[in-house]
Structure 1
Amino acid sequence: MSDDGRDPFAIPKDMRAMAEASFEQARKAFDKFMESARTTAGNIEERRESVRSGAREIGGKAVTYAEKNVQASLDYAQSLLKAKDLPEVMKLHSEYVQSQMRALSEQASEMGQIVSRAAMDAAKPKS
């Protein structure tokens, strides 16, 4: 002890109070950080579900388009086998190409809409 009766190694009350206040602020900041982290993790999970749902729709459409396009190609090949002459082959080819161009244009447009909708759903703020 010192001459005035105080312990020279004792932490002054003001310093202890300041340390306790700083500790409480740090704890509150950490709690807010953890709450924000949990909220963000929940939002990410919700967005992941939106993205997964959109991806399923896109994948399903791609398979449907592939089936239609392969079926159209098989139908075209079968019609070529039944063609009687070159002018008929040329006519069948022209019709097939025109039909496929229309189908591909429609498919691309529809797929673009699906992708756009899926992206917008994934970017929507969840409440």
Structure 2
Amino acid sequence: MANINPSADNVRAMLTESLGRVRQASTEYFDLLEKNLGASPLPIADQAKQFCNYLQRNVVATFDLGDKLIQAKDVQDALKVQSEFFQAQMRALTDQAKDMGESAMKAASGMFQPKS
């Protein structure tokens, strides 16, 4: 008969295995997306690649959060990990928004320059 009340170590092992599978699938997805964006003739392909890179970094950070939460020893440890993640993501979001804004401004200013 199946163990109805698995131990914390068994739950952690199952979660770690599942997270590993999802992480691998995500990596394969982003590799495929990057390959397709690289072959795109669209003028916004560079901005799309930049956005994709930011998205991939955020997904990896979320997976790292999952790894850390799985290893948390108690609720207080989990809350600390989550708080650190939130602060790091807010800093990353600020930097990414700044970079994307600068990229958009460069693209927009290039549209209004006279063609020679």
TM-score, L = length of structure 1: 0.57
- Provide, for residues 42-73 of structure 1, a one-character-per-residue CA deviation record: whole Å limited to 9, x for no partner: xxxxxxxxxx54x1221011100010000000
Q: What residue number does 1:90 align with? A: 79
Which whole-Å CA distance do the structure 1 matches of 2:105 and 2:78 have between them? 40
Superposed, 1:18-37 pairs within 5 Å as none
Distance in 2 separating the partners of 1:60 and 1:80: 30
* Identical pairs, percent: 36
- 1:100 pairs, out of 89, 94, 116, with 89
Matched residue of 1:77: which SS?
helix
Structure 2: give runs of 5+ residues left out of the alignment. 1-41
* 2:79 is the alignment partner of 1:126: no
Higher Cα radius of gyration: 1
1:104 is displaced (CA, Å) by 0.5
For residues 126 and 82 of structure 1, what CA distance do their matches in structure 2 show? 58
| DSSP 3-state at the match of 1:88 | helix
- Shift of residue 91, structure 1, vs aligned partner: 0.4
Aligned-partner residue type, residue 102 of structure 1: R
Tell which has more relative contact order, 1 or 2 (C-alpha 8 A, sep 6+): 1
Instruction: State the AA in 2 paired with 1:63.
Output: C
- Structure 1 distance, partners of 2:112, 2:60, is 36
**Aligned pair count?**
75
